Amino acid sequence: MLTEEERREIEAEFHQYPQKRSACIDALKIVQRRRGWVSDESLRDLAAFLGMTPDELDSVATFYNLIFRRPVGSRVILICDSVSCWIMGYERIRELLTARLGIELGETSADGEFTLLPNACLGACDRAPVMMINDELYQDLDPGSLDQILDPNARRTDSSPMTSQ
């Protein structure tokens, strides 16, 4: 069941679109922000609310790679695996991440904190290699900066010069 708050937040998006179903990506993002991911049950409820079939909504959700249809960690790392990042050291960053977190691409750490996913170009090619953790972009990655980013005692703040959105 969608909560009252979820319904209200989704309904607030309807005025931007000619029909309710057109708000489906916004609606998926709202549900995901509140629940962490979009389960089959959430997807069915949301589809009914938007006047869509579950298959129609699932085809949108699975096409859009930032909608998670399986549980993810509280911090989702999207590592850019496109050409500029490849040239500028993607492989080394990926190796360090998988070793440090004890997971491979597509997996979630045992403590449920991190999910590591490959992603197409994140739009910061001039600052490669690049990754995002949740909504924060981390650029010019090197082994030292990676340690700092992942260190639980040295989590960055919004004022860190290392990131932008």
The residue type of 111 is: D
DSSP 40-104: HHHHHHHHHHHT--HHHHHHHHHHSTTS-SS---SEEEEEE-SHHHHHTTHHHHHHHHHHHHT--
User: In the numeric block, which tokens belong to residue 82?
Assistant: 């496109």
Site map 71..90 versus ligand FES, x via CB under 6 A: ---------x-xxxx-----
Please, what is the minimum distance in Å from the beta carbon of residue 93 to ligand FES? 11
| Short-list 41, 19, 38, 17, CA closest to 29 | 38
Segment contacting ligand FES (CB under 6 A): 40-48, 69-77, 96-104, 121-129?
121-129
Of the residues 61, 101, 128, 132, which one makes contact with ligand FES according to CB under 6 A: 128
Question: Taken in order 69, 117, 115, 106, is the CA torsion positive or negative?
Answer: positive
Smaller CB distance to ligand FES: residue 32 or 139? 139
Q: Could you say whether residue 122 binds ligand FES (CB under 6 A)? A: yes
Q: Could you say whether residue 48 binds ligand FES (CB under 6 A)? A: no
Please, what is the minimum distance in Å from the beta carbon of residue 88 to ligand FES? 8
Smaller CB distance to ligand FES: residue 82 or 98? 82
Q: Could you say whether residue 23 binds ligand FES (CB under 6 A)? A: no
Q: How many whole angstroms separate alpha carbon 74 and alpha carbon 136?
A: 13
Task: Return residues touching ligand FES (CB under 6 A).
Answer: 80, 82-85, 121-125, 128, 130
